[in-house]
Amino acid sequence: MLGGNVSGRVLTRRATPIAAAVVAVPDAGRVVKTDSTGSFELRGLPEASAWVYLTAAGYASDSVLVALANGRIDTLTTYLNGLPFLQNCRVTTHVYGRGWPPEPLEFCRLSATAGDADGDADLDSVWAEIPAIGYAERLDYDPDSQAFVQTLYAADLPGQSMETLVGREVRFNVMDEEGTATTDTVAGITRIMTDLPEPVFPSGGQDTLSSDTVFIWYRFDHGYAVSYHSEVVRVEGGSPAGIAAEFDAADTTYHLASASLDSGDYYWTVEAIDEFGNSSRSAEELFHVR
């Protein structure tokens, strides 16, 4: 006999309505969607116990067993847990020249952005795994890039080389406060840029700038497109004392107003960056501003 009725609302854990959530009673072959207020209604259901299933994109599904009776309206209010999600999962390699030791510094950066349908406050943790080498490490939130990141140095990898990670899958994971986890797997390393860009001017540590200057470097030409990023760092007492200027360029020159730099010692670097975010950076080139 038909005559059972169910109505109710589907809400987030913050009690905001979920529109277009699917409410289904498979035993009765009935399916409806919630309206803009998260409300739904099902009438004329069999007078028997029935499971009501509730699903919505971005939320964990739920189910409720109701005992239906003729002429009675059973009311349900269901709170769905928003699922955590990952975006922009990346594995990039970086090779930085340096004065000492003479070997470049090589490292790999794991990064991802994460969120939750219930708000970022519901995030518990983000971590990465590289099963092939037994790696599992939590990623730290970097407010500058607004991403979760971790750095793997080549010296700490098996074989002390980033080549170890070529062809190795990397799993990014995020978990919310309710213990629900989401995983995204990426192929891993796409390229290692072992050659370093070469500054032309200023270089060698002997150049003194007294007027606006065109910084010049050789084209990094290895069969793929790159952009360039440069940093000019002030040196005090033989140690870096902060970035005094930085610029991005698509070509191999940049006109810098030296008037923006106080008198003193500086070094600059030029970094070539490919379309995947891999990069190679020159060693520091010293110069003086008069």
Q: What CATH code is carried by the domain that includes residue 167?
A: 2.60.40
Are 101 and 176 contained in the same domain?
yes
Give pLDDT, residue 2: 59
Q: Which residues pair with 244 in a beta bridge?
A: none
Are 244 and 277 contained in the same domain?
yes
Q: What CATH code is carried by the domain that includes residue 8?
A: 2.60.40.1120
Pair 129, 122: CB distance under 8 Å: no
Mean pLDDT of 149-154: 97
Asked if residue 70 belongs to a domain, the reply is yes
Q: Which of 186, 211, 235 is the last residue of a domain?
A: 186
Q: Read off the pLDDT of residues 123-138 as tens digits, 9 standing for 90 and up.
A: 999 999 999 999 999 9
Pick from 149, 192, 147, 148: nearest CA to 167 = 192
Mean pLDDT of 247-275: 93
Q: Detail the DSSP E strand segments found in 47-162.
A: 49-55, 62-67, 73-80, 84-96, 105-116, 123-130, 135-138, 140-142, 147-153
pTM score, two decimals? Answer: 0.85
Asked if residue 192 belongs to a domain, the reply is no
**Residue holding tokens 């994460």?**
114
Are 169 and 250 contained in the same domain?
no
Contacts of 95 (CB under 8 A, 6+ apart): 104, 105, 106, 192, 193, 194, 196, 279, 280, 281
Distances (CA, A) of 210 to 231, 260, 266: 19, 11, 13
Are 166 and 256 contained in the same domain?
no
Give yes or no for residue 1 having a pLDDT over 60: no
Are 88 and 174 contained in the same domain?
yes
Give pLDDT, residue 48: 82
Pick from 95, 97, 98, 110: nearest CA to 280 = 95
Asked if residue 193 belongs to a domain, the reply is no
Contacts of 82 (CB under 8 A, 6+ apart): 12, 13, 58, 59, 60, 116, 117, 118, 119, 122, 176
Q: Which of 186, 221, 247 is the last residue of a domain?
A: 186
Asked if residue 238 belongs to a domain, the reply is yes
Are 176 and 104 contained in the same domain?
yes
Q: Which of 186, 209, 224 is the last residue of a domain?
A: 186
Pair 272, 221: CB distance under 8 Å: no
Q: Read off the pLDDT of residues 182-240 as tens digits, 9 standing for 90 and up.
A: 999 999 898 999 999 999 999 999 999 988 899 999 999 999 999 999 999 999 998 99
Are 62 and 120 contained in the same domain?
no
Q: What is the DSSP letter of 20?
A: T
Structural domain boundaries enclosing 47: 2-80
Are 64 and 88 contained in the same domain?
no
- % of the chain residues with pLDDT over 70: 99
Are 247 and 262 contained in the same domain?
yes
Number of domains in the chain: 3
Are 72 and 98 contained in the same domain?
no
For residues 167, 138, 112, 94, the Cα torsion angle rounded to the nearest 10 degrees is -60
Are 68 and 130 contained in the same domain?
no
Burial of 6 (0-12, 13-18, 19+ CB in 10 A): buried
Asked if residue 194 belongs to a domain, the reply is no
Asked if residue 58 belongs to a domain, the reply is yes
Asked if residue 96 belongs to a domain, the reply is yes
Pick from 64, 54, 62, 57: nearest CA to 83 = 57
Are 31 and 105 contained in the same domain?
no
d(CA 270, CA 266): 14
Give pLDDT, residue 69: 79
Mean pLDDT of 62-77: 87
